[in-house]
Amino acid sequence: MLIDPRNGPDFDLPRSSSAPRTYVIAATPRTGSTLLCRGLWDTGLAGAPKEYFNPVQLRDWELRFGTPRSRLLHRALRGPGLALVGRPGWAPARLRAHWLRVCAHRSAASGWCGLKLHRHHRERLFGAEKLEDLLGEIRWIRITRRDRVAQAVSWSRALRTGRFASHQRAWLPPLYRCRHIEACLRALEEQETAWDAELEGYEVLSLVYEDLVADWPQGLRAVLCWLSLPGADAVELPEPALPRQADARTARWIDRFEVERARAKWQHRGRVRPAFAEEPGPGRESVWDYPRPPRIERDTRRVEVRAGEVVLADSVRALRVLETASPPTFYLPAEDVRVDRLLRAAGRSECEWKGSADYWSLAAAAGTDGRVAWSYPVPRPGFEALAGHFAFYPGRMECRLGDERVRPQPGGFYGGWVTSEIAGPFKGEAGSEDW
C-alpha cells in the first residue's frame, strides 16, 4: 500500500515522445515549494514536480517498481524508521535508475520532469555526487523565504506535530519550544548557505515565497517562461491548490520567539556590575544595578517638558522605568501632557519587554519636526501601567527633572534621561550594542 496515493499509476502522465529534461526546485522546508509544485503540476505543462527523493517517495516507488527484496526492505522501514532511509543501498546507479523511472511516468509532453529537492535530502542521498551526473542537465529554480523566523516556526510546528500539509492530520498537539525553533532556524540558515555554495555560477530562477503568494499568477508564469514552454504567457493558470497553514497560533509563536530571543541576547541583567562600570558614590545610582526585565517606579518629583516657550508636559506623577545599562526613562500620564500639540508620526518599533511603540511628533504650530515622544498603547504583560503615558526624548525637547536640565542618552535611538544622580557608562555609546 502506498503512503502517498499521488505516487500511484492514476497520477502518471501520458508517455512523452520528447527526450526527458530535468528541472530542480532547490528548497528548504516551509518555503512554499509544495504549493509551487502543485501549481506547476496543475498547469498541465510542467510535468508532475514532486519530492521524489524524499524517503516516503522512495519507498512508494520501490513498492511500485522495485525488486521483491527492496520491497520487503521498504516495508520494514515504514513508520519512524523511514527517516533512516539514506545513502546506504542507494548507489549512484540506483539513484539514476530511480530518476529515469520517474521521468518515464511523470514528464510533460515537452519532456520536462520536475523535482523538488530539500537540502537535507540532497546531502543524505547524494552526498558529494554532482547532481548533473545523476539527473542529467538541470534547469535550476530556487525558492526561499524572506521571513526566516516565520519559516523556522512553521517547520518546528510541523516537525513536532507531524502535520506538514493542511490536509494532513496532526499526530501530536502543537507544543511551543523556543530551543527547537532556534535549532530549526540554525539548520535553515546552514541549508540555505549550502544551496548558495552549490548553485554559485549557475543560472538560477529565484522565487521568494512571500512574493509568490502575493502574486501567484506572476510566480507560475515566471517558471513556465524559464522552462521556455510555448504558450506560457497565455495559458489559464490554476488557483493555489493548498490553503495556508499559518494561523493565529503561528503568529503567537513567532511573536513569543522573537521576544524570547531578544531578551536572551543581553549580556548584563543587573546582578553584577561589570568591571568598566563607574562607582556611583553617595547619593547616586548605577545603571548597572538596574534590572532586566526593567522595573517601573513611581516618581513624584516635578517633570517638565518644553518645546520652545510651549510647555508640553508638567507632571508630578511620572513613572520611571529602570533597565540595566540605560539611564531611566520617564513616562508621563496623558492628563499631564498637551496631547493636542502632538501628532502620530510614521513608523513603529518593538521592545521585547514593553511591546509595540507608537511615535509622536509636534503639531506644526509648535514649530518642530520629527519624533519627539513615544507611547505604548497596549503594553506587554508586566508593563500595563505604561498604557496612557507618554515618554519624551530629552535630546529633542527641553526636559527638566526638578531643577536640573536633562541630558540625552548617547546614540540618538534611546530616550533615557541622564542626570547628575546617574552613573554609567550608558548603552548607546559605541560598542554597547549587547549591553
Domains and CATH numbers, the chain: 5-263 (3.40.50.300), 285-423 (2.170.150.40)
Mean pLDDT of 111-115: 97
- Check residues 290 and 55 and name the one with the higher pLDDT: 290
- Check residues 168 and 277 and name the one with the higher pLDDT: 277
Q: What is the pLDDT of residue 364?
A: 64
Q: What is the pLDDT of residue 339?
A: 96
CB 17 within 8 A of CB 134: no
Q: Measured between alpha carbons, how far is 435 from 419 in angstroms, rounded to an integer?
A: 20
Q: What is the pLDDT of residue 366?
A: 45
CB 243 within 8 A of CB 411: no
Listing DSSP states for 108-158 in one string gives -TTSEEEEEEEHHHIIIIITT--HHHHH-SEEEEEEE-S-HHHHHHHHHHH
Q: What is the pLDDT of residue 129?
A: 86
Q: Measured between alpha carbons, how far is 84 from 86 in angstroms, rounded to an integer?
A: 6
Please provide the average confidence, as pLDDT, over all residues in the chain. Answer: 90
Q: For residue 60, which of 106, 109, 108 has the smallest C-alpha distance?
A: 106
Q: What is the pLDDT of residue 227?
A: 96
* Cα angle 178-251-386, degrees, rounded to a multiple of 5: 90
- Check residues 90 and 409 and name the one with the higher pLDDT: 409
Percentage of the chain exceeding pLDDT 70: 93
- Check residues 240 and 359 and name the one with the higher pLDDT: 359
The 3-state DSSP class for residue 14 equals coil
Q: What is the pLDDT of residue 68?
A: 54
Least confident of 23-27, 65-69, 391-395: 65-69
State whether the Cα torsion 120-126-131-134 is positive or negative.
negative
Q: What is the pLDDT of residue 363?
A: 85
Q: What is the pLDDT of residue 65?
A: 86
Q: In one letter, which amino acid is 433?
A: E
Res 49 pLDDT > 70: yes
pLDDT digits (tens, 9 = 90+) for 279-312: 999 999 999 999 999 999 999 999 999 999 999 9
pLDDT digits (tens, 9 = 90+) for 185-236: 999 999 999 999 999 999 999 999 999 999 999 999 999 999 999 878 878 8
Q: For residue 320, which of 298, 294, 301 has the smallest C-alpha distance?
A: 298
Percentage of the chain exceeding pLDDT 90: 71
CB 344 within 8 A of CB 329: no
Mean pLDDT of 2-22: 92
Res 70 pLDDT > 80: no
- Check residues 330 and 91 and name the one with the higher pLDDT: 330
pLDDT digits (tens, 9 = 90+) for 134-186: 999 999 999 999 999 999 999 999 999 988 887 788 889 999 999 999 999 99
